[in-house]
A and B are shown apart, each in its own frame.
Chain A
Protein backbone atom coordinates (compact mmCIF):
# COMPACT_ATOMS: atom_id res chain seq x y z
CA UNK A 1 0.00 0.00 0.00
CA UNK A 2 1.49 3.38 -1.08
CA UNK A 3 -0.99 5.46 0.96
CA UNK A 4 -0.46 6.73 4.50
CA UNK A 5 -3.22 7.67 6.97
CA UNK A 6 -2.86 11.35 5.99
CA UNK A 7 -3.40 10.49 2.29
CA UNK A 8 -6.54 8.48 3.09
CA UNK A 9 -7.88 11.28 5.31
CA UNK A 10 -7.46 13.82 2.48
CA UNK A 11 -9.19 11.55 -0.07
CA UNK A 12 -12.11 10.56 2.21
CA UNK A 13 -12.52 14.20 3.32
CA UNK A 14 -12.68 15.30 -0.31
CA UNK A 15 -15.35 12.68 -1.14
CA UNK A 16 -17.56 13.68 1.80
CA UNK A 17 -17.30 17.40 1.00
CA UNK A 18 -17.92 17.02 -2.74
CA UNK A 19 -21.05 14.86 -2.34
CA UNK A 20 -22.45 17.18 0.36
CA UNK A 21 -21.85 20.24 -1.81
CA UNK A 22 -23.30 18.48 -4.86
CA UNK A 23 -26.54 17.64 -3.06
CA UNK A 24 -27.14 21.37 -2.42
CA UNK A 25 -27.98 21.71 -6.14
CA UNK A 26 -31.34 19.94 -5.71
CA UNK A 27 -32.71 23.02 -3.89
CA UNK A 28 -32.38 25.11 -7.05
CA UNK A 29 -33.97 22.74 -9.57
CA UNK A 30 -37.46 23.98 -10.38
CA UNK A 31 -37.88 22.92 -14.00
CA UNK A 32 -36.19 20.98 -16.81
CA UNK A 33 -34.20 24.05 -17.94
CA UNK A 34 -32.66 24.29 -14.45
CA UNK A 35 -31.92 20.57 -14.52
CA UNK A 36 -30.23 20.48 -17.94
CA UNK A 37 -28.73 23.97 -18.49
CA UNK A 38 -28.69 25.51 -14.96
CA UNK A 39 -31.37 28.02 -15.99
CA UNK A 40 -28.82 29.52 -18.46
CA UNK A 41 -27.28 31.49 -15.59
CA UNK A 42 -23.57 30.57 -15.85
CA UNK A 43 -21.23 33.53 -15.49
CA UNK A 44 -17.75 33.77 -17.02
CA UNK A 45 -15.61 32.33 -14.22
CA UNK A 46 -17.82 29.48 -13.15
CA UNK A 47 -18.38 28.79 -16.88
CA UNK A 48 -14.63 28.41 -17.40
CA UNK A 49 -14.39 26.14 -14.32
CA UNK A 50 -17.21 23.83 -15.38
CA UNK A 51 -16.11 23.61 -19.04
CA UNK A 52 -12.51 22.86 -18.05
CA UNK A 53 -13.52 20.38 -15.34
CA UNK A 54 -15.87 18.61 -17.75
CA UNK A 55 -13.09 17.93 -20.23
CA UNK A 56 -10.24 17.22 -17.78
CA UNK A 57 -10.48 13.80 -16.17
CA UNK A 58 -8.09 11.15 -14.91
CA UNK A 59 -8.73 9.56 -18.31
CA UNK A 60 -7.31 12.76 -19.90
CA UNK A 61 -4.16 12.54 -17.79
CA UNK A 62 -3.78 8.84 -18.57
CA UNK A 63 -4.13 9.04 -22.37
CA UNK A 64 -2.04 12.19 -22.63
CA UNK A 65 0.63 10.60 -20.42
CA UNK A 66 0.58 7.57 -22.70
CA UNK A 67 0.97 9.78 -25.80
CA UNK A 68 3.91 11.61 -24.21
CA UNK A 69 5.60 8.34 -23.25
CA UNK A 70 5.18 6.80 -26.72
CA UNK A 71 5.72 9.79 -29.01
CA UNK A 72 7.72 12.33 -26.98
CA UNK A 73 7.25 16.04 -27.66
CA UNK A 74 5.59 15.31 -31.04
CA UNK A 75 2.50 14.42 -29.01
CA UNK A 76 2.22 18.08 -28.02
CA UNK A 77 0.78 18.80 -31.50
CA UNK A 78 -2.81 17.65 -30.77
CA UNK A 79 -2.72 19.53 -27.44
CA UNK A 80 -1.64 22.70 -29.20
CA UNK A 81 -4.32 22.22 -31.85
CA UNK A 82 -7.07 21.70 -29.23
CA UNK A 83 -6.16 24.92 -27.41
CA UNK A 84 -5.76 27.03 -30.54
CA UNK A 85 -9.03 25.77 -32.05
CA UNK A 86 -10.91 26.69 -28.86
CA UNK A 87 -9.36 30.15 -28.82
CA UNK A 88 -10.31 30.72 -32.48
CA UNK A 89 -13.88 29.44 -31.93
CA UNK A 90 -14.16 31.61 -28.82
CA UNK A 91 -12.87 34.74 -30.55
CA UNK A 92 -15.03 34.32 -33.67
CA UNK A 93 -18.13 32.75 -32.05
CA UNK A 94 -18.15 30.20 -34.90
CA UNK A 95 -21.29 28.02 -34.34
CA UNK A 96 -21.38 28.64 -30.55
CA UNK A 97 -22.86 32.15 -30.76
CA UNK A 98 -25.74 30.97 -32.94
CA UNK A 99 -26.23 27.89 -30.74
CA UNK A 100 -26.53 30.05 -27.62
CA UNK A 101 -28.94 32.46 -29.34
CA UNK A 102 -31.17 29.52 -30.28
CA UNK A 103 -31.52 28.57 -26.56
CA UNK A 104 -30.96 24.87 -27.19
CA UNK A 105 -30.66 22.23 -24.47
CA UNK A 106 -29.03 19.47 -26.55
CA UNK A 107 -27.12 19.37 -29.87
CA UNK A 108 -29.63 17.06 -31.63
CA UNK A 109 -32.40 19.59 -30.82
CA UNK A 110 -30.87 21.78 -33.55
CA UNK A 111 -31.62 19.04 -36.08
CA UNK A 112 -35.35 19.43 -35.51
CA UNK A 113 -35.11 23.22 -35.85
CA UNK A 114 -33.28 23.03 -39.17
CA UNK A 115 -34.08 19.60 -40.57
CA UNK A 116 -36.77 17.27 -39.19
CA UNK A 117 -37.92 15.43 -36.05
CA UNK A 118 -36.87 12.13 -37.64
CA UNK A 119 -33.32 13.37 -38.19
CA UNK A 120 -33.22 14.61 -34.59
CA UNK A 121 -34.10 11.07 -33.50
CA UNK A 122 -31.41 9.48 -35.73
CA UNK A 123 -28.84 12.01 -34.51
CA UNK A 124 -29.89 11.43 -30.90
CA UNK A 125 -29.35 7.68 -31.28
CA UNK A 126 -25.91 8.16 -32.89
CA UNK A 127 -24.87 10.78 -30.32
CA UNK A 128 -25.92 8.54 -27.42
CA UNK A 129 -24.25 5.47 -28.98
CA UNK A 130 -20.96 7.21 -29.75
CA UNK A 131 -20.93 9.10 -26.45
CA UNK A 132 -21.62 6.12 -24.23
CA UNK A 133 -19.10 3.91 -26.09
CA UNK A 134 -16.61 6.75 -25.71
CA UNK A 135 -17.26 7.00 -21.99
CA UNK A 136 -17.28 3.22 -21.70
CA UNK A 137 -13.51 2.96 -21.18
CA UNK A 138 -13.25 5.72 -18.57
CA UNK A 139 -13.84 3.64 -15.44
CA UNK A 140 -11.31 0.95 -16.29
CA UNK A 141 -8.52 3.39 -17.15
CA UNK A 142 -9.28 5.61 -14.14
CA UNK A 143 -9.32 2.54 -11.91
CA UNK A 144 -5.87 1.55 -13.18
CA UNK A 145 -4.55 4.97 -12.21
CA UNK A 146 -5.96 4.84 -8.68
CA UNK A 147 -4.79 1.26 -8.15
CA UNK A 148 -1.22 2.04 -9.18
CA UNK A 149 -0.84 5.35 -7.32
CA UNK A 150 -2.59 4.36 -4.09
CA UNK A 151 -1.39 0.75 -4.07
CA UNK A 152 -4.92 -0.63 -3.52
CA UNK A 153 -5.12 -4.35 -4.28
CA UNK A 154 -6.45 -4.95 -7.83
CA UNK A 155 -9.09 -7.25 -6.31
CA UNK A 156 -10.83 -4.19 -4.87
CA UNK A 157 -10.74 -2.19 -8.11
CA UNK A 158 -14.35 -2.96 -9.11
CA UNK A 159 -15.62 -2.15 -5.60
CA UNK A 160 -13.70 1.15 -5.47
CA UNK A 161 -14.89 2.30 -8.89
CA UNK A 162 -18.46 1.26 -8.05
CA UNK A 163 -18.40 3.42 -4.91
CA UNK A 164 -17.05 6.41 -6.89
CA UNK A 165 -19.68 5.95 -9.61
CA UNK A 166 -22.49 5.68 -7.03
CA UNK A 167 -21.30 8.88 -5.29
CA UNK A 168 -21.21 10.90 -8.50
CA UNK A 169 -24.55 9.48 -9.67
CA UNK A 170 -26.14 10.53 -6.35
CA UNK A 171 -25.66 14.25 -6.85
CA UNK A 172 -25.96 14.22 -10.66
CA UNK A 173 -29.35 12.47 -10.58
CA UNK A 174 -30.88 14.70 -7.93
CA UNK A 175 -29.44 18.10 -8.86
CA UNK A 176 -28.69 17.80 -12.60
CA UNK A 177 -26.62 20.60 -14.12
CA UNK A 178 -26.86 22.81 -11.00
CA UNK A 179 -25.16 20.15 -8.86
CA UNK A 180 -22.67 19.40 -11.62
CA UNK A 181 -21.70 23.07 -11.92
CA UNK A 182 -21.22 23.50 -8.15
CA UNK A 183 -19.08 20.38 -7.82
CA UNK A 184 -17.23 21.15 -11.07
CA UNK A 185 -16.10 24.45 -9.59
CA UNK A 186 -14.53 22.89 -6.49
CA UNK A 187 -13.22 19.93 -8.47
CA UNK A 188 -11.60 22.24 -11.03
CA UNK A 189 -9.68 24.06 -8.28
CA UNK A 190 -8.48 20.78 -6.74
CA UNK A 191 -7.52 19.10 -10.04
CA UNK A 192 -5.63 22.22 -11.12
CA UNK A 193 -3.63 22.31 -7.88
CA UNK A 194 -2.81 18.60 -8.41
CA UNK A 195 -1.80 19.26 -12.04
CA UNK A 196 0.57 22.06 -11.08
CA UNK A 197 2.06 20.04 -8.19
CA UNK A 198 2.70 16.97 -10.33
CA UNK A 199 4.25 19.04 -13.14
CA UNK A 200 6.74 20.59 -10.71
CA UNK A 201 7.56 17.21 -9.14
CA UNK A 202 7.92 15.42 -12.49
CA UNK A 203 10.31 17.94 -14.04
CA UNK A 204 12.37 18.38 -10.89
CA UNK A 205 12.80 14.60 -10.44
CA UNK A 206 13.50 13.72 -14.07
CA UNK A 207 15.44 16.92 -14.87
CA UNK A 208 14.73 19.02 -17.98
CA UNK A 209 18.06 18.23 -19.65
CA UNK A 210 17.62 14.49 -19.00
CA UNK A 211 14.12 14.64 -20.51
CA UNK A 212 15.42 16.30 -23.70
CA UNK A 213 18.36 13.91 -23.88
CA UNK A 214 16.17 10.78 -23.41
CA UNK A 215 13.74 11.79 -26.17
CA UNK A 216 16.64 12.68 -28.49
CA UNK A 217 18.44 9.35 -28.03
CA UNK A 218 15.29 7.21 -28.05
CA UNK A 219 13.25 8.77 -30.86
CA UNK A 220 15.48 11.25 -32.66
CA UNK A 221 13.66 13.86 -34.73
CA UNK A 222 10.40 11.88 -34.58
CA UNK A 223 10.27 12.66 -30.85
CA UNK A 224 10.08 16.40 -31.54
CA UNK A 225 8.63 16.98 -35.00
CA UNK A 226 5.02 15.79 -35.51
CA UNK A 227 5.67 15.96 -39.26
CA UNK A 228 8.60 13.52 -38.98
CA UNK A 229 6.77 11.11 -36.63
CA UNK A 230 5.21 8.23 -38.64
CA UNK A 231 2.23 8.08 -36.23
CA UNK A 232 1.31 11.69 -36.93
CA UNK A 233 2.21 13.64 -40.10
CA UNK A 234 0.21 16.23 -42.02
CA UNK A 235 -2.95 14.08 -42.38
CA UNK A 236 -3.10 13.63 -38.60
CA UNK A 237 -2.75 17.37 -37.99
CA UNK A 238 -5.57 18.20 -40.44
CA UNK A 239 -7.81 15.48 -38.97
CA UNK A 240 -7.11 16.75 -35.44
CA UNK A 241 -8.02 20.29 -36.48
CA UNK A 242 -11.34 19.08 -37.92
CA UNK A 243 -11.96 16.87 -34.90
CA UNK A 244 -11.31 19.64 -32.38
CA UNK A 245 -13.45 22.08 -34.36
CA UNK A 246 -16.29 19.57 -34.09
CA UNK A 247 -15.60 18.74 -30.41
CA UNK A 248 -15.54 22.41 -29.45
CA UNK A 249 -18.82 23.13 -31.21
CA UNK A 250 -20.87 19.90 -31.28
CA UNK A 251 -19.70 17.65 -28.43
CA UNK A 252 -22.76 17.39 -26.18
CA UNK A 253 -21.00 18.00 -22.85
CA UNK A 254 -19.06 21.00 -24.19
CA UNK A 255 -22.12 22.40 -25.97
CA UNK A 256 -24.21 22.11 -22.77
CA UNK A 257 -21.85 24.64 -21.14
CA UNK A 258 -22.36 27.00 -24.08
CA UNK A 259 -26.15 26.56 -23.75
CA UNK A 260 -25.90 27.22 -19.99
CA UNK A 261 -24.07 30.55 -20.13
CA UNK A 262 -25.93 33.80 -19.48
CA UNK A 263 -25.50 34.97 -23.11
CA UNK A 264 -23.68 34.50 -26.42
CA UNK A 265 -20.94 36.96 -25.47
CA UNK A 266 -20.22 35.10 -22.23
CA UNK A 267 -20.07 31.78 -24.08
CA UNK A 268 -17.40 33.23 -26.42
CA UNK A 269 -15.30 34.47 -23.52
CA UNK A 270 -15.65 31.15 -21.66
CA UNK A 271 -14.46 29.29 -24.77
CA UNK A 272 -11.50 31.63 -25.36
CA UNK A 273 -10.11 31.41 -21.81
CA UNK A 274 -10.71 27.67 -21.59
CA UNK A 275 -8.62 27.38 -24.78
CA UNK A 276 -5.59 28.53 -22.79
CA UNK A 277 -6.38 25.93 -20.11
CA UNK A 278 -6.58 23.30 -22.85
CA UNK A 279 -2.96 23.98 -23.84
CA UNK A 280 -1.92 22.90 -20.33
CA UNK A 281 -4.56 20.15 -20.17
CA UNK A 282 -2.75 18.36 -22.97
CA UNK A 283 0.89 19.39 -22.68
CA UNK A 284 1.40 19.03 -18.91
CA UNK A 285 0.28 15.36 -18.62
CA UNK A 286 2.22 14.60 -21.82
CA UNK A 287 5.26 16.05 -20.09
CA UNK A 288 4.61 13.70 -17.13
CA UNK A 289 4.59 10.80 -19.61
CA UNK A 290 7.92 11.94 -21.07
CA UNK A 291 9.34 12.27 -17.53
CA UNK A 292 8.18 8.68 -16.85
CA UNK A 293 9.99 7.57 -20.04
CA UNK A 294 13.12 9.32 -18.78
CA UNK A 295 12.95 7.67 -15.34
CA UNK A 296 11.66 4.19 -16.20
CA UNK A 297 12.13 3.64 -19.98
CA UNK A 298 14.70 0.84 -19.78
CA UNK A 299 12.81 -2.25 -21.02
CA UNK A 300 12.60 -4.04 -24.37
CA UNK A 301 11.84 -1.88 -27.41
CA UNK A 302 8.33 -1.79 -28.87
CA UNK A 303 8.06 0.34 -32.04
CA UNK A 304 11.41 1.89 -31.07
CA UNK A 305 10.28 2.92 -27.57
CA UNK A 306 11.59 1.11 -24.43
CA UNK A 307 8.93 -0.43 -22.18
CA UNK A 308 8.68 1.03 -18.65
CA UNK A 309 10.31 -1.13 -15.98
CA UNK A 310 9.38 -0.30 -12.37
CA UNK A 311 10.81 -2.36 -9.46
CA UNK A 312 11.72 -5.14 -11.90
CA UNK A 313 8.21 -5.40 -13.40
CA UNK A 314 7.52 -4.41 -17.02
CA UNK A 315 4.41 -2.22 -17.38
CA UNK A 316 2.29 -0.98 -20.30
CA UNK A 317 3.25 2.56 -21.45
CA UNK A 318 -0.09 3.94 -20.18
CA UNK A 319 0.78 2.79 -16.64
CA UNK A 320 4.24 4.41 -16.59
CA UNK A 321 2.99 7.85 -15.53
CA UNK A 322 0.94 6.68 -12.48
CA UNK A 323 3.82 4.39 -11.47
CA UNK A 324 6.10 7.41 -11.56
CA UNK A 325 3.70 9.38 -9.34
CA UNK A 326 3.56 6.48 -6.88
CA UNK A 327 7.33 6.56 -6.53
CA UNK A 328 8.11 10.30 -6.53
CA UNK A 329 5.27 11.84 -4.47
CA UNK A 330 5.63 11.95 -0.70
CA UNK A 331 2.94 11.37 1.99
CA UNK A 332 0.31 14.11 2.02
CA UNK A 333 1.19 15.28 -1.50
CA UNK A 334 0.11 11.89 -2.80
CA UNK A 335 -3.24 12.29 -1.03
CA UNK A 336 -3.74 15.76 -2.53
CA UNK A 337 -2.86 14.48 -6.02
CA UNK A 338 -5.17 11.45 -5.78
CA UNK A 339 -7.98 13.66 -4.41
CA UNK A 340 -7.32 15.97 -7.39
CA UNK A 341 -7.50 13.05 -9.80
CA UNK A 342 -10.70 11.81 -8.13
CA UNK A 343 -12.07 15.34 -8.53
CA UNK A 344 -11.16 15.19 -12.22
CA UNK A 345 -12.76 11.76 -12.56
CA UNK A 346 -15.98 12.78 -10.85
CA UNK A 347 -16.35 16.07 -12.73
CA UNK A 348 -15.99 14.38 -16.12
CA UNK A 349 -18.17 11.40 -15.28
CA UNK A 350 -21.00 13.45 -13.77
CA UNK A 351 -21.00 15.86 -16.74
CA UNK A 352 -20.91 13.02 -19.25
CA UNK A 353 -23.65 11.10 -17.43
CA UNK A 354 -25.83 14.21 -17.55
CA UNK A 355 -24.92 14.94 -21.20
CA UNK A 356 -25.69 11.52 -22.62
CA UNK A 357 -28.77 10.96 -20.46
CA UNK A 358 -30.09 14.36 -21.62
CA UNK A 359 -29.77 13.18 -25.23
CA UNK A 360 -31.54 9.90 -24.45
CA UNK A 361 -34.45 11.64 -22.73
CA UNK A 362 -34.80 14.79 -24.86
CA UNK A 363 -33.79 13.47 -28.31
CA UNK A 364 -34.78 9.80 -28.28
CA UNK A 365 -37.59 9.27 -25.74
CA UNK A 366 -39.45 12.59 -26.37
CA UNK A 367 -39.41 12.53 -30.20
CA UNK A 368 -40.40 8.85 -30.16
CA UNK A 369 -43.39 9.65 -27.94
CA UNK A 370 -44.38 12.42 -30.34
CA UNK A 371 -43.96 10.18 -33.40
CA UNK A 372 -46.13 7.53 -31.68
CA UNK A 373 -48.81 10.16 -30.99
CA UNK A 374 -48.47 10.02 -27.18
CA UNK A 375 -49.24 13.01 -24.97
CA UNK A 376 -46.36 15.39 -24.14
CA UNK A 377 -44.62 15.21 -20.76
CA UNK A 378 -44.69 17.91 -18.08
CA UNK A 379 -41.43 19.54 -16.95
CA UNK A 380 -41.45 17.39 -13.81
CA UNK A 381 -41.93 14.20 -15.87
CA UNK A 382 -39.09 15.23 -18.19
CA UNK A 383 -36.79 15.53 -15.18
CA UNK A 384 -37.92 12.07 -14.06
CA UNK A 385 -37.13 10.58 -17.52
CA UNK A 386 -33.70 12.28 -17.38
CA UNK A 387 -33.01 10.72 -14.00
CA UNK A 388 -34.00 7.26 -15.20
CA UNK A 389 -31.78 7.69 -18.31
CA UNK A 390 -28.94 8.77 -16.03
CA UNK A 391 -29.27 5.57 -14.00
CA UNK A 392 -29.44 3.50 -17.20
CA UNK A 393 -26.19 5.01 -18.53
CA UNK A 394 -24.51 4.43 -15.13
CA UNK A 395 -25.51 0.76 -15.10
CA UNK A 396 -24.21 0.32 -18.65
CA UNK A 397 -20.88 1.86 -17.65
CA UNK A 398 -20.59 -0.45 -14.65
CA UNK A 399 -20.95 -3.63 -16.65
CA UNK A 400 -19.20 -2.61 -19.89
CA UNK A 401 -16.70 -0.02 -18.70
CA UNK A 402 -14.89 -2.16 -16.18
CA UNK A 403 -14.33 -5.13 -18.50
CA UNK A 404 -13.73 -3.71 -22.00
CA UNK A 405 -10.13 -2.98 -23.04
CA UNK A 406 -9.70 -0.56 -25.98
CA UNK A 407 -7.34 -1.58 -28.76
CA UNK A 408 -4.23 0.63 -29.28
CA UNK A 409 -3.72 4.08 -27.75
CA UNK A 410 -6.71 5.18 -25.63
CA UNK A 411 -6.62 8.72 -27.06
CA UNK A 412 -7.13 7.43 -30.59
CA UNK A 413 -9.93 5.03 -29.50
CA UNK A 414 -11.72 7.99 -27.90
CA UNK A 415 -11.24 10.04 -31.08
CA UNK A 416 -12.76 7.35 -33.28
CA UNK A 417 -15.79 6.60 -31.07
CA UNK A 418 -16.45 10.35 -30.92
CA UNK A 419 -16.14 10.62 -34.68
CA UNK A 420 -19.08 8.17 -35.08
CA UNK A 421 -21.44 11.09 -34.60
CA UNK A 422 -19.16 14.13 -34.63
CA UNK A 423 -18.33 13.94 -38.35
CA UNK A 424 -21.99 14.00 -39.43
CA UNK A 425 -23.15 16.32 -36.65
CA UNK A 426 -20.46 18.92 -37.33
CA UNK A 427 -21.11 18.92 -41.08
CA UNK A 428 -24.90 19.17 -40.55
CA UNK A 429 -24.58 21.96 -37.96
CA UNK A 430 -22.18 24.06 -40.05
CA UNK A 431 -24.25 23.40 -43.20
CA UNK A 432 -27.49 24.14 -41.35
CA UNK A 433 -26.23 27.43 -39.94
CA UNK A 434 -24.18 28.76 -42.84
CA UNK A 435 -25.50 27.13 -46.06
CA UNK A 436 -29.08 27.88 -47.06
CA UNK A 437 -29.40 24.86 -49.35
CA UNK A 438 -28.64 22.27 -46.63
CA UNK A 439 -31.71 20.05 -46.34
CA UNK A 440 -33.06 16.98 -44.54
CA UNK A 441 -32.00 14.47 -47.23
CA UNK A 442 -28.46 15.83 -47.04
CA UNK A 443 -28.65 15.69 -43.23
CA UNK A 444 -29.60 12.01 -43.19
CA UNK A 445 -26.87 11.17 -45.72
CA UNK A 446 -24.27 13.12 -43.72
CA UNK A 447 -25.12 11.49 -40.38
CA UNK A 448 -25.28 7.95 -41.74
CA UNK A 449 -22.25 8.17 -44.04
CA UNK A 450 -20.21 9.90 -41.29
CA UNK A 451 -21.04 7.09 -38.84
CA UNK A 452 -20.32 4.39 -41.45
CA UNK A 453 -17.06 6.16 -42.33
CA UNK A 454 -15.94 5.90 -38.69
CA UNK A 455 -17.23 2.42 -37.79
CA UNK A 456 -16.46 0.31 -40.89
CA UNK A 457 -12.84 1.36 -41.60
CA UNK A 458 -11.75 1.29 -37.91
CA UNK A 459 -13.58 -1.70 -36.45
CA UNK A 460 -13.86 -3.94 -39.55
CA UNK A 461 -11.17 -2.91 -42.07
CA UNK A 462 -8.62 -1.97 -39.37
CA UNK A 463 -7.50 1.19 -41.16
CA UNK A 464 -5.36 3.69 -39.25
CA UNK A 465 -7.07 6.34 -37.12
CA UNK A 466 -5.92 9.17 -39.42
CA UNK A 467 -7.42 7.63 -42.54
CA UNK A 468 -10.58 6.62 -40.66
CA UNK A 469 -11.02 10.18 -39.40
CA UNK A 470 -10.57 11.60 -42.87
CA UNK A 471 -12.98 9.05 -44.36
CA UNK A 472 -15.68 9.92 -41.80
CA UNK A 473 -15.49 13.70 -42.25
CA UNK A 474 -15.10 13.39 -46.05
CA UNK A 475 -18.07 11.05 -46.44
CA UNK A 476 -20.24 13.20 -44.15
CA UNK A 477 -19.45 16.36 -46.15
CA UNK A 478 -20.06 14.56 -49.45
CA UNK A 479 -23.37 13.21 -48.07
CA UNK A 480 -24.63 16.64 -47.04
CA UNK A 481 -23.65 18.28 -50.34
CA UNK A 482 -25.01 15.54 -52.61
CA UNK A 483 -28.25 15.09 -50.63
CA UNK A 484 -28.87 18.84 -50.44
CA UNK A 485 -28.23 19.44 -54.15
CA UNK A 486 -30.53 16.62 -55.25
CA UNK A 487 -33.15 16.67 -52.45
CA UNK A 488 -36.07 19.04 -51.83
CA UNK A 489 -35.47 22.69 -50.99
CA UNK A 490 -34.44 23.28 -47.39
CA UNK A 491 -36.73 24.78 -44.75
CA UNK A 492 -35.85 27.91 -42.79
CA UNK A 493 -34.43 27.55 -39.29
CA UNK A 494 -37.37 27.25 -36.86
CA UNK A 495 -37.44 28.99 -33.49
CA UNK A 496 -36.95 26.66 -30.48
CA UNK A 497 -40.01 28.06 -28.70
CA UNK A 498 -42.13 27.13 -31.73
CA UNK A 499 -40.87 23.53 -31.56
CA UNK A 500 -41.45 23.32 -27.80
CA UNK A 501 -44.97 24.74 -28.11
CA UNK A 502 -45.75 22.14 -30.80
CA UNK A 503 -44.46 19.46 -28.45
CA UNK A 504 -46.63 20.62 -25.57
Chain B
Protein backbone atom coordinates (compact mmCIF):
# COMPACT_ATOMS: atom_id res chain seq x y z
CA UNK B 1 0.00 0.00 0.00
CA UNK B 2 2.87 2.38 0.79
CA UNK B 3 4.18 1.93 -2.74
CA UNK B 4 0.83 3.09 -4.21
CA UNK B 5 0.59 6.02 -1.77
CA UNK B 6 4.00 7.24 -2.89
CA UNK B 7 3.24 6.50 -6.54
CA UNK B 8 0.00 8.55 -6.59
CA UNK B 9 1.56 11.38 -4.60
CA UNK B 10 4.39 11.67 -7.12
CA UNK B 11 1.91 11.39 -10.02
CA UNK B 12 -0.13 14.26 -8.55
CA UNK B 13 3.01 16.33 -8.10
CA UNK B 14 3.71 15.87 -11.83
CA UNK B 15 0.11 16.28 -13.02
CA UNK B 16 -0.81 19.45 -11.07
CA UNK B 17 2.19 21.64 -11.91
CA UNK B 18 2.23 20.39 -15.56
CA UNK B 19 -1.40 21.43 -15.89
CA UNK B 20 -0.68 24.90 -14.47
CA UNK B 21 2.51 25.43 -16.47
CA UNK B 22 1.03 24.37 -19.84
CA UNK B 23 -1.98 26.61 -19.18
CA UNK B 24 0.32 29.57 -18.61
CA UNK B 25 2.32 28.93 -21.81
CA UNK B 26 -0.81 28.32 -23.93
CA UNK B 27 -2.46 31.48 -22.58
CA UNK B 28 0.53 33.63 -23.51
CA UNK B 29 1.36 32.11 -26.90
CA UNK B 30 -2.16 31.15 -28.05
CA UNK B 31 -3.12 34.72 -29.00
CA UNK B 32 -0.42 34.78 -31.69
CA UNK B 33 -1.77 31.48 -33.09
CA UNK B 34 -5.30 32.87 -33.20
CA UNK B 35 -4.20 36.03 -35.08
CA UNK B 36 -2.25 33.89 -37.55
CA UNK B 37 -5.28 31.63 -38.09
CA UNK B 38 -7.52 34.64 -38.84
CA UNK B 39 -5.00 36.03 -41.33
CA UNK B 40 -4.61 32.72 -43.17
CA UNK B 41 -8.37 32.09 -43.29
CA UNK B 42 -8.88 35.54 -44.79
CA UNK B 43 -6.15 34.80 -47.37
CA UNK B 44 -7.79 31.49 -48.24
CA UNK B 45 -11.15 33.23 -48.74
CA UNK B 46 -9.56 35.92 -50.94
CA UNK B 47 -7.82 33.30 -53.10
CA UNK B 48 -11.08 31.36 -53.37
CA UNK B 49 -13.05 34.43 -54.49
CA UNK B 50 -10.42 35.22 -57.16
Contact = CB atoms under 8 A, between A and B. Distances in A.
Contact of A276 (B12, B18, B32, B40): B18
Given A34-B41, A38-B41, A44 B15 contact: no
A196 B20 contact: yes
Contacts of B8: 73, 76, 224
B19 A45 contact: no
A199 B38 CA distance: 35
B22 A48 contact: yes
B25 to A, nearest CB: 7
Interface in B1-48: 1, 4-5, 8, 11-12, 14-16, 18-20, 22-23, 25-27, 29-30, 32-34, 36-38, 40-42, 44-45, 48
A33 to B, nearest CB: 8
A225 B6 CA distance: 11
A31 B48 contact: yes
Contacts, number: 119
A49 B26 contact: yes
Contact of B14 (A49, A196, A279): A279
A386 B33 CA distance: 26
Contacts of A41: 36-37, 40-41, 44
Contacts of A279: 11, 14-15, 18-19
Of listed B26, B32, B48, residue having the most chain A CB within 10 A: B26
Interface residues of A, number: 46
A68 B24 CA distance: 27
Interface stretch (A185-193, A426-434, A437-445, A476-484): A185-193
Contact of A284 (B15, B22, B30, B44): B15
A30 B42 CA distance: 9
A45 B26 contact: yes
A421 B30 CA distance: 33
A158 to B, nearest CB: 33
A48 B16 contact: no
A39 to B, nearest CB: 5
B19 to A, nearest CB: 3
B36 A283 contact: no
A221 interface: yes
Contacts of A192: 19-20, 23
B19 A38 contact: no
A34 B19 contact: no
A28 B15 CA distance: 36
Contacts of A28: 38, 41-42, 45
Interface of B: 1, 4-5, 8, 11-12, 14-16, 18-20, 22-23, 25-27, 29-30, 32-34, 36-38, 40-42, 44-45, 48-49
8 contacts: A31-B45, A46-B26, A47-B33, A48-B30, A49-B26, A79-B15, A181-B37, A279-B14
